[in-house]
Amino acid sequence: MRAFFILVTLICLAESQHQALMDYLERRLLAIEDRISIWHEQTNRYATELREFKQQIVAQIETLEKDKETLKTDLDSMGTRVDRVEREMDYLETQNGAQPCVDVDDKLVEQQVTVVKEKNKAKYAKATDCSDMISSIKAMKILKRVGGPKGMWTKDAGSGSGKVYVFNGTEDDTIYEFGSIRDFTTSQGTSMAKTVKLPSPWRGSGHTIYNNHAYYLKQGKELRLIKYDLRNGSVVDSAVFPIRDHVPVYSLTPETVIDLATDEEGLWAIYATKETEKQISLAKMDANTLDIEQMWDTPCPRENAEAAFIICGTVYVVYNTAMPSRSRVQCVFDVSDMVTNDDAPLVYFPKRYSSHSSLNYNPLEQLIYAWDDGYQILYKLAMKKKLEV
């Protein structure tokens, strides 16, 4: 009996130990499962954070690449401007050389001035074979009236695209572009025009269109010339016009400080300063870089002048006359000295309204695009050779 009791006791003890072992093993398995779950959560979180970090790095690298391109563009632009400043300084040094420390014989100085004039004449004689000048106004045609009393309209003087451009008023930032003269004349106002929004407003009525680019003056504390690409809608270049104490170039159109003009030789600037306040000055410009190649002081007075235009390197200044229906070319300045005021023929414009706020010569058509009190007028020219005067 006692042996049986001992056996039962041993069996119970064995079962108790087995149950304890099973409980221990179950607790260990649960702990391992908890750790595996935590490890999965941490692994997923680390993977998510790593992916987000990678995306941030990629975005920052893309931003740095864009900043690199922008910086490269800015550096290239700065290099171009530095080159332009150096060229302008070189030009100013040539125009304002150091004064001699010794007395120079007057006859020698006169000879040197003559040599410079001859060099200038040779320069422009070689630059173009153009030797045309106005003989008279052959015909006049009033196309329509659109816009205010002052403005400018023209065709592209370089590309011959046939498009017509209208700058209405003396201060705005919108150009009206017509596909052709027919579109311009048949349009009700500007209904058939494409509007071109400029990045800054123009000033005056002395603008021009040349080789698919608009050249205009942005006036602020400084006179800045803007070159705007009409095809892709961006500013290609800009340059400060290097004159001090500027004054309106025409007394009858005081809004125009610089009158940009084009002819067979390219781009010109007609302007005036307080230093030569009574006379008009002239500058030949590089249409590609906006650099000034040479400057002249003309004998043409500003008083009673309404507008001017250039043909073959000769500037024709138009003045209001005592006759209410006419304007007249009363002053001519030729950079090649082939034509003088005494030799130039009398040229009358059969003006009918007020005074011309702009006159733009188109060398491809030998027409002048005029704006007179809101009327758009075409003047057809009769031409002859300069040597015939």
For the chain, give the number of residues.
389
Please say if the pLDDT value at position 110 is more than 50.
no
At 351 the pLDDT is: 67
| Whole-number pLDDT of residue 100 | 37
* 382 has pLDDT over 80: yes
DSSP code per residue over 60-112: HHHHHHHHHHHHHHHHHHHHHHHHHHHHHHHHHHHHSPPPPSS---HHHHHHH
Which one has a higher pLDDT value, 48 or 194?
A: 194
Q: Worst-scoring range by mean pLDDT, 5-19, 22-36, 214-228, 303-317?
A: 5-19
Query: For 34-74, how does the pLDDT look when each residue is reduced to its tens digit (9 = 90+)?
Result: 888 888 888 888 888 888 888 888 888 888 888 888 888 77
pLDDT grade for 93, boundaries at 50, 70 and 90:
very low
Q: Point out the least confidently predicted range of 88-92, 154-158, 184-188, 282-286.
A: 88-92
The Cα 90–Cα 112 span in angstroms is 20
Give the CATH number of domain 130-388: 2.120.10
Check residue 107 and give its pLDDT.
43
Looking at the chain, the whole-number percentage of residues with pLDDT higher than 70 is: 84
Residue (of 246, 381, 241) closest to 310 by Cα position: 381
Encode pLDDT of 329-379 as tens digits.
Answer: 999 999 988 888 877 778 888 866 788 999 999 999 999 999 999 999 999
At 27 the three-state DSSP class reads: helix
Sheet holding 223-229, edge to edge: 208-210, 213-219, 223-229, 234-240
Mean pLDDT confidence for 282-290: 95
- Residue 287 predicted with pLDDT over 80: yes
Pick from 97-106, 164-173, 225-234: least confident: 97-106
The set of long-range contacts for 158-163, using a CB threshold of 8 Å and a minimum separation of 24, is: 158/210, 158/211, 158/212, 158/262, 158/287, 159/211, 159/212, 160/364, 161/212
